[in-house]
Amino acid sequence: MQISSVLNYLVSLFMISSPLTAIPVFLNLTQDRSRKERGKVGVWAGVAVAIILSLTVWLGGPLLDFLAIRIGAFQCAGGIVVFLLALSMLNAQTSPIRQTQEEVDVIKPSVSVVPLALPLMAGPGAMSAAIVAAANFPSFSQKAILSACGIVMGGVISIMLYFSTEIERYLGHTGLNIITRIGGLILASLAAETIFQGIDNFLAR
């Protein structure tokens, strides 16, 4: 597995998980908590993301086989989901694919896992990327590397959410929107590539 493939996967996970766009949601959900409590919530959200992405690498493929879903079809569907996320990012909005307003308003006691980790950051888009990557790199060592990437992504998210107040203060609302839009453009390109790969795999059979 080449370093470029690993870096491409990490970039995909970062863009799809988009912790920068999750920061405003995180601050809103934890606004009634102390700085220390908010930091713990952020760390546990990152841990939850790492667990979800790592397990998806190993269990996603067998689940598709059990359901008799071809990887080409899943690549196309996953690419469409990611593309919808990218469109929301280009508009500097939180996609309803990640969360609904009801989830934001109702589920507040355990926000680390729901809705922060799932479905906000490790939702359909990130899980689709993990399953597609595992299909492209199926050996044990390659899947171990992909799992490690998921753990690294969880660590990055933990750090960013822990210092979310400082990040928002430094970048400001406009800065976050600019970064979100740039990430959306990159993510849309990655989504298109995934869809084209899915079409090739689908037609190859």
The tens digit of pLDDT for each residue in 111-154 reads 788 777 876 788 777 888 899 899 889 999 999 999 999 999 99
Cβ-contact 15, 182 below 8 angstroms: no
What is residue 178's predicted lDDT score, i.e. its pLDDT? Answer: 80
The amino acid that residue 27 corresponds to is: L
Q: How far apart are CA 164 and CA 42, in angstroms?
A: 9
| Summary count for the chain: helices (H), strands (E) | 8, 0
Residue ranges of alpha helices (H) inside 114-163 are 124-136, 140-162
Cα→Cα distances 12→32, 38, 152, 153, 202, Å: 33, 27, 13, 10, 22
Domain ranges for the chain, please list them: 34-204
Model confidence at 109, pLDDT cuts 50, 70, 90, reads very low
Tokens of 128: 């689709």
What is residue 101's predicted lDDT score, i.e. its pLDDT? Answer: 52
Query: What DSSP letter does each residue of 39-97 carry, written as one string?
Result: HHHHHHHHHHHHHHHHHHHHHHHHHHHHTT--HHHHHHHHHHHHHHHHHHHHTT---TT
Rounded to the nearest integer, the mean pLDDT of the chain is 82
